[in-house]
């Protein structure tokens, strides 16, 4: 009986020692460092998939695509209504890397400062383009999009109702 209690205590302590740092890093990634978000302004739900996971974003919702504690996202794919719009996207803190194109370098003017780092928000527009949103308080046309943006989506037959004009 005493051995099983000792083994249980060791397992609980091991879970605490491993679980707390993992949980802390996960929470900190949402509030600390250089974070990148994606706003879905289309009419459809979009899915953002990486090599390891995927998430859906409803129209008007914003999602964290690059937590602050990682330098570069794995290869991301954006799908709308079962049509692939963008693939091979890698978000970093200062650029967007795309497959078969030059990197899109983002100047510091696009970043919004927060208490524990910076944020950058990309938007899937109603036309299905990928653009960068200016920081809050700046007008939509205050900054010109970096060279290489907007990215045009691949229009598929199933996702025509997701875009307007």
CA pair distance 118, 68, nearest whole angstrom: 9
Residue-level pLDDT at 23: 74
- DSSP lists the bridge partners of residue 49 as 54, 77
Question: What is the per-residue pLDDT across 66-96, written as a single tens digit (0 to 9) for each?
Answer: 887 778 788 888 988 888 888 888 888 788 8
Give me the chain's average pLDDT, please: 83
Residue-level pLDDT at 60: 92
165: pLDDT strictly greater than 70: no
CA pair distance 125, 109, nearest whole angstrom: 21
Q: Give pTM, 2 decimals.
A: 0.80
Q: Which of these, 74, 72, 66, lies nearest to 32 by C-alpha position?
A: 66
At a CB cut-off of 8 Å and minimum separation 6, what does 121 contact? 36, 37, 38, 39, 62, 112, 132, 133
Question: What is the per-residue pLDDT across 109-147, written as a single tens digit (0 to 9) for each?
Answer: 888 888 788 888 999 998 888 999 888 867 666 678 888
**135-144 contact pairs (CB < 8 A, 24+):** 135/110, 135/111, 136/112, 143/109, 143/110
Question: What is the per-residue pLDDT across 4-49, written as a single tens digit (0 to 9) for each?
Answer: 888 888 888 888 888 888 777 676 666 677 888 999 999 889 999 9
- DSSP lists the bridge partners of residue 119 as 35, 112
CA pair distance 13, 7, nearest whole angstrom: 10
Residue-level pLDDT at 61: 94
Residue-level pLDDT at 58: 93
Q: Which residue has the higher pLDDT, 47 or 155?
A: 47
Residue-level pLDDT at 1: 58
In terms of C-beta density within 10 A (0-12 exposed, 13-18 middle, 19 or more buried), how is residue 162 classed? Answer: buried
């Amino acid at each position: 009986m005493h051995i099983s209690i000792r083994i249980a205590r060791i397992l609980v302590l091991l879970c605490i020692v491993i679980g707390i740092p993992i949980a802390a890093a996960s929470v900190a990634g949402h509030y600390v460092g250089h974070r990148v978000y994606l706003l879905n302004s289309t009419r459809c739900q979009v899915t953002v998939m990486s090599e390891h996971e995927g998430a859906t974003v409803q129209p008007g919702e914003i999602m964290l695509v690059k937590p602050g504690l990682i330098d570069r996202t794995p290869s991301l794919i954006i799908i709308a209504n079962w049509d692939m719009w963008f693939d091979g996207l890698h978000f970093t803190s200062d650029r967007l890397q795309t497959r078969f194109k030059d990197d899109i370098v983002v100047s510091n003017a696009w970043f919004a400062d927060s208490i524990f780092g910076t944020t950058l928000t990309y938007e899937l527009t109603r036309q299905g383009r990928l653009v960068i949103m200016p920081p809050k308080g700046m007008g939509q046309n205050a900054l010109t999009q970096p060279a290489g943006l907007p990215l045009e989506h691949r229009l598929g037959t199933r996702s025509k109702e997701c875009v307007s004009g």
